[in-house]
Amino acid sequence: MPTVTPFVPQRITVHIGPPASSGENVTVSFSDYVKNVASSEIYPTWDESALRANILAIVSFALNRVYTEFYRSRGYDFDITSSTAYDQFFVKGRSYFDSISRLVDELFNDYLRRPGFVEPLAAKFCNGTTVTCEGLSQWGSQNLAQQGYNSTQILRSYYGNVETVLNAPIRGITSSYPGTPLRVGSTGPNVVILQVSLNRIAQNYPAIPKIPVVDGIFGSRTEATVRAFQQIFGLTPDGIVGPATWYEVVRLYTAVTSLSELRSSGQQFYAINWSPPNSLQSGDTGEKVKQLQYMLSVLSAYISEIPPLSVDGIYGPATRAAVLAAQRRFRLPETGTVDATTWDEIYDQYAGIENTSLRNGEPFPRTNNTSANQAVPAGNFRRNGTTTQSSRTNYARTTTMTQFPGRDLSIGGQDPVRQEVVR
């Protein structure tokens, strides 16, 4: 599954005290921030594996705050606080322990994540003696280190199945807001971010109408959804996405997906190649099954005979029932198996619904001469493989908040990890 490597900020702004307090803001380099917190939270005499585990947890938690714009989406002018009730212990002006400083220089741009997820793990922790929590126990990590556990084993003992991303790129923090308002007629990756986010929020707030097709084009359906969102959350219902609406979307998206929580539902990204499979049937799994399920889920919203289904990549009974219903509706042999003929018919019906809804061409072009390991170029192909001059942007550039990696993503791509994940 292709995933995105979030950036590590060059500098981070820390609010001294709880979020709503009148404390000052202190801006330091990210590595100095990690050295400060690690020197304030843990003991430099601990075993190195315990130190490494704790430093990676500190880095990951801070990066999660930056990645989700946790405080800035709420109108604050800082990235994290020094309050342990909310974040991590930071002491302005303190010195650092040499052993900790050395390890942080090595680890400050490595972080933890769940396999298949994009966002850095919200790696919460506590001392494990006077305070206990769901995350890592600091003293418990030292006990495990003394038993011979390495840092990966310690982290998995507390966080479960996590992996370590190495050498994430470093850059200055930039706002996720596009810089100019999005409105009817806007196109591009920022519109995709908006559409994906609003559709996910709508799962928790059914009064918000879902956008039928995520295509990066701000049309009338997207405008209607934006207006409903604005009305529900007390914003001016003008259908225009300025800073206030954008950051309210960011805040709500983070909340409904729990991206800033240890038990996050996770953020995932896909590049889509719509070429037909050889065959799909019960028991199959993978990206092609997800694409099939997505098309069927769109059809089910318009065709009552096709039952709704989840997009989980598993060709189970629900998927087979939807396929049989589609074959029956489209007068195809009712086999429950998706051959090229069934795939093409489902795709054509899906594309027809989208064209009717948005009246502007095909949003997810399919090409027969693009392999499953290549990203489809942005808007350069029609379903039959002929080139066009479409201005549509590649759906592979899906919601990344502030963290678009600067390159197209393709099926099978991955970020470097410290070691193989136990699956």
Distance CA 316, CA 322 (A): 10
pTM over 0.85: no
Backbone dihedral angles phi then psi of residue 281, each to the nearest 5 degrees: -150, 175
Residue of 289, 185, 319, 279 lying closest to 241 (CA atoms): 185
Fold of 189-257: Muramoyl-pentapeptide Carboxypeptidase; domain 1 (1.10.101)
**Distances in whole angstroms, Cα of residue 177 to Cα of each of 39, 62, 196, 200, 247:** 34, 20, 15, 18, 8
Helices (H) and strands (E) in the chain, counts: 11, 9
Q: φ, ψ for residue 23 (rounded to 5)?
A: -65, 165
Q: What is the residue-level pLDDT of the chain in tens, covering all 423 positions? A: 233 467 899 999 999 999 999 999 999 999 999 999 999 999 999 999 999 999 999 999 999 999 999 999 999 999 999 999 999 999 999 999 999 999 999 999 999 998 878 889 999 999 888 888 889 999 999 999 999 999 999 999 999 989 998 888 888 877 888 889 999 999 877 888 899 899 889 989 999 999 987 778 899 999 999 999 999 999 999 999 999 999 999 999 999 888 888 888 777 654 445 567 889 999 999 878 988 988 898 788 778 899 988 888 899 999 999 999 999 999 999 999 999 899 988 988 876 664 444 333 333 333 333 333 333 222 222 233 333 332 222 333 233 344 444 444 444 444 443 332 222
For residue 343, count CB atoms less than 10 angstroms from its CB and return exposed for 0-12, middle for 13-18, buried for 19 or more: buried
* Sequence spans of domains, the chain: 8-171, 189-257
Residues 6+ positions from 389 with CB-CB distance below 8 Å? none
**Which helix (DSSP H) or strand (DSSP E) does residue 25 occupy?**
strand 25-29
Q: Which two tokens stand for residue 271?
A: 């590049």
